[in-house]
Structure formats: structure tokens, C-alpha cells
A and B are shown apart, each in its own frame.
Chain A
Amino acid sequence: MTTDAPPAASSKRTTLNARVEKIFDHASDTRSLFLSLTSGKHLRFVPGQFISITIPLADETRSRPYSIASDPEDRSPFEICFNRVAGGRGVAWLFDRSVGDTLDFSGPFGTFTLAPEPDSEEGFIAEGTGIAPIRPMLKQALAAPSAAKIHLIYAASDRQHILYAAELDALARSAPNFSYEPVIAPAESIYDRLSELAQTRWIAGDQDRTRHLYICGVGKGVLRLRDLLRGAGYERRAVHYEQW
């Protein structure tokens, strides 16, 4: 096999460099890193976007995406959260980072972001670490002048993996237009449960098909939810999703 070096110009990427400021373990296999730009500047992004981290493995360099879990308005370090996956070399490298280590990334990227100016309900469905992009999206939606209803269905395999639970509870108490429904279901049937709940609330519940719905999670179940909602009469562009 003959290969040659990537052409210089097209391989030129604008990378940013960040320092790990803090590490927080949500569970033994789920961690958040809090990062600040070593340039001293603030990362500008839209809630829902991700960064692409350069993972320097022994034999090659990979780029892997991580959603930003924090609010862009928050001037403190920004947060990514991730969980260990079998055979996931990129995430294993991230688990090995310590406070003070630096990493390169590009971005932010991604179009899983809030539709402008909703005039009807916004529904969110998160599974596991799929809450990461949705967390700042919720804050953005709640900060909007409209008092449109916002509902979150958030599923995980156990209580420990419902991330930001206290914060979401507090938000549900303080924001009258926000409601939140944590769901615990076995990993293998988590999307069956989410589909039932979405069916009950947003399909059988009423005839309104004007709401925007946002889904984020791991695996093909995300696409099942998308198809369920679109099949029930929601417009294609009103069903937003990000599948990891």
C-alpha cells in the first residue's frame, strides 16, 4: 500500500488548548472534566454543541466528540462529561487526565441546538450522559422571555446515573414552566420505556403537534424515538436529535 502524507493545507486545523481545572466523578464510571482555555479566553459555543478532543494514542491520533455540559453564560471552566465504555480508547485516555494536564481540541461543532423562539412547549428526552448537551439547552430555554412549557424525561439505569439530579429537582421547584421526570429502567429496555412515556405524553396526550422535541442518548433507540414522534405527526424539523 502506498500512502502519502496529508496535504499540508487541508490537514491544518485550528486547535485550541485547554487545561483540566477540576475533575468530578458522578459515578465510578461517569466523570466530568472542567476545562479552561490556556489562552485565558472564554470558549464561545451554543448550548447543545460539542468539542472534538484530540486523543493522542500510542499508535495514532484520533478526534472524539464530547458535548459541553455547562452553560456558555457561565464564565467559569466549561464542562464535558463522559462514561467509560468497553474498548473505548479515547475515553480511557480522558479518564487518565489529571488536574493541570492540558489537551487539544477543535470546535465547537454541532447543530443539535434550540430552535429559535419557541411559541409552544419544548420537550426533552435524555438518556444517560445524553443529558450533557441538554443541560445548557434547558437553561437557555428557561432564560427565554416566552413562558412556554418545558418538560424533560431523563432515563438512566439507576439513580446514580441520573446526573445533575439535585440541580434538575431544584430547577423544577423554582421554574413554574419546567417539569422533570426522572426514569429508572434496565439498560436493555431503557428506550422501550422512553418510547412509552413519549407516546403517553406527546402523542396520546393531546393533538398538539407544534412542540419541538429534543432527544439525546446513546444507540439506535434515539432513532426509534425520532421515528415514533415524526410518524405521529411532528414535523421533521421539529424533532431534533443527537445520537451517540
Chain B
Amino acid sequence: MMAKIRRRCKRRCFGLRGDGFAESTQRIISIANLNPMAKLRIQFENGDPEKLIEFDPAKAPFHHDGKPGSILDVMLGHGIHLEHACGGNCACTTCHVIVKQGFNKLGESSDQEEDLLDRAPGLTPTSRLGCQAVIEDPNAEIVVVVPRYTINQVSEAAEE
């Protein structure tokens, strides 16, 4: 049911929030050239400083985990950690991110991603798996939040 709701919500446009980049935002620019550069701004619910990556989607893959050009691929390729317990193979939800801006600019989700998101803690209408959400548009400006609980949600209780 939630996946269906999510699908319905997909066409909704989520407005720009927190416009303008905070002073403390660290900018990570892959290659300075005159081509349009996609922007991926990452906010961390755990209070880590916000990051901004400017990159050319045509240069994907940037790393070896997740779909080439996915949020996970872009982050890892620019030295920013995002949990991906299954190795970026669309088999878990640890790379769950909430898209605050640019949801409709991301590649379509598969049934497999929707099935997994369906069981992700803290699911929102604009949730995506970082390993599957591909940024192809060089003009895209994407803002995502990394939820606190995706960071090793289970391990602390794993021993008894």
C-alpha cells in the first residue's frame, strides 16, 4: 500500500527548501569546466556538516558500488560515506535517503527498489535508495537528507 502511495506521490513537486547554500557547506567540485554541473547537496540528520558535490553526470561511474551516477555512486566517488550494507546491489535499505529537492529529476525507481523501500524505517513520499536513484540531468539540483537511523541501524543490538 505504501509503495502505491509513494508512486502516487511521485508526481508531486516538492518545493525548494532552505534555498542558498549554508556558509558551512563544503563544496566538492569534481572537474572545473564550462559544462553544466549537476549539484548534489547532502544534509545529515545526525548533525554532520552539509556537503555539496558539483559533478558532470556524463563522467559516471565515480565509484564501483550502486548504479553508475546514482546518489551512492556520486557520494562515494567524492569521498562521502553512505552506508550500503549490501554493496549497492538493491538488496537492503541502508542507503535510504530522503529527497528534499529534485525528486522528479531522478531516474525512475524499479519495482525492486519500491519493494525494499516499502520496508524501510522512516519511509517518506520522497524516499529513494541511494544506490538506485540516478542523476542524469547535468542541470539537476538535488538535495537529500541522510536519515540518522540508516547509519548502522541494527548493529548495536546485534550481540547478546
Contact = CB atoms under 8 A, between A and B. Distances in A.
Interface of A: 1-16, 37, 39, 41-45, 50, 52, 62-65, 90, 106-112, 223, 226-227, 236-237, 241-244
Contacts of B48: 7-10
A42 B159 CA distance: 6
A106 B85 contact: yes
What are the nearest 4 A-B pairs in CB distance?
A3-B79, A52-B85, A14-B155, A41-B159
Interface of B: 3, 26, 28-31, 44, 46-49, 51, 64-65, 78-87, 89-94, 111-112, 115-116, 118-119, 146, 151-152, 154-160
Given A63-B85, A65-B86, A223-B112, A13 B91 contact: no
| Interface-centre pick from B48, B64, B85 (highest chain A CB count, 10 A) | B85
A72 B155 CA distance: 15
Contacts of A45: 158
B31 A1 contact: yes
A10 B79 CA distance: 12
Nearest to B93: A111
A39 B159 contact: yes
A132 to B, nearest CB: 13
B6 to A, nearest CB: 13
A169 to B, nearest CB: 30
| Interface-centre pick from A3, A50, A112 (highest chain B CB count, 10 A) | A3
Contact of A5 (B44, B79, B89, B111): B79
| Interface-centre pick from B3, B81, B112 (highest chain A CB count, 10 A) | B81
Contact of A4 (B26, B31, B119, B154): B26
Contacts of A11: 81
A3 B28 contact: yes
Contact of A62 (B87, B92, B151, B160): B87
